[in-house]
Amino acid sequence: MKLSQFKVLLFDVYGTLVDWETGISAALQPILAGTSLESKPAALRAFEGIEADLQVRYPEMRYSELLARVHAEMETRLRGGAELPEPAGEGGSTQATVETSSTTVGSTDVGTSASAAAAVQEQPDAHTAFGQSIAAWPIFPDTIPALAYLSTRYALTVLSNVDRASFAATQRALEGPPSAQRFTFRAVYTAEDAGAYKPDPKARAYALRRIEEELGVRSDEVLVVANSVFHDVAPSRKIGLATAWIQRAGSVVGQDEIEGGKATFKFWTLGEMADAVKREVGQA
């Protein structure tokens, strides 16, 4: 396959275009300082386990609210000394439950322990602030120049595990102000739109259907560009989509070297991918 044969790039955003791991770990520091999760990898793995569980159990929960609940749950478990879950394996939830003094919180409850749910009510500022921290997550330095070039060759689209309001600030930061836009995303699809979080197949099926309806592009002309193997690369491969794995150095969440190595294309940065396209079309 050649990169130049595709018409649409379907991007994951957080982890691929935006350094969400740095953003998340920085926002978590106030509750992690002095704990066993103080290191960035440990904090991210704990975050990943709780987030994956809630996303599977509550696919229609808005991402900003889900993030607030993840924050409350992590704080509650750290204070109570409860064991934090390992990240979900491919194709399923962590199946984590939380023991309280009298009950085990199951899938029919709020999605967090009773004390964590109460914490969201009692201390809304800290948890809500974490849920709204998406706008502050830094953009990788190669992202904007790469997107500006790639937009001259492809229709740029997004399938992201967030809600519309949360993505809006990131979209403005990437595209630039209306008076001086660097490029535009031709279509944006979120978990809120699809009613499902990746890697649930419903999320990707929703995006592909909309791309064909709105842009007239079939799935075999779509290239999925993503950092997370668990959320994007592996499930896309399973349904026959071409994939470009952006293996950002030091990434923790959703990584799998073996599965990632099966991607159609592999690059360390989006800038490297843009350079590969330039060479392919004779513009390097």
Q: Residues spanned by CATH 3.40.50.1000 within the chain?
A: 3-19+138-280
Given this model, what pLDDT does residue 124 score? 52
Sign of the alpha-carbon dihedral angle for 206, 209, 210, 211: positive
Q: Residue 153: count other Cβ atoms within 10 Å of its Cβ.
A: 18
Most confident among 23-32, 91-100, 119-128 (mean pLDDT): 23-32
Would you say 14 and 136 are in contact if contact means Cβ atoms under 8 Å apart?
no
Q: Tell me the mean pLDDT in the region 127-148.
A: 95
Q: How far apart are CA 149 and CA 168, in angstroms?
A: 22
- What mean pLDDT is reported for the chain? 86
| pTM (two decimals) | 0.84
Assess contact for 230 and 199: CB atoms under 8 A: yes
Residue that the structure tokens 């018409």 belong to: 7
Q: Which uninterrupted H or E stretch holds 158?
A: strand 155-160
Summarize pLDDT for 28-74 with one digit per residue, the tens.
999 888 888 888 999 999 999 999 999 999 999 999 999 999 999 99
**Which residue do the tokens 């478990």 mark?**
77
**C-alpha radius of gyration, the chain, whole number:** 19
Instruction: Answer yes or no: is pLDDT of 203 > 80.
Output: yes
The length of the chain is 284
Question: What pLDDT is attached to residue 85?
Answer: 53
pLDDT in tens, 212-248: 999 999 999 999 999 999 999 999 999 999 999 999 9
Q: So what CATH class is 3-19+138-280?
A: alpha beta
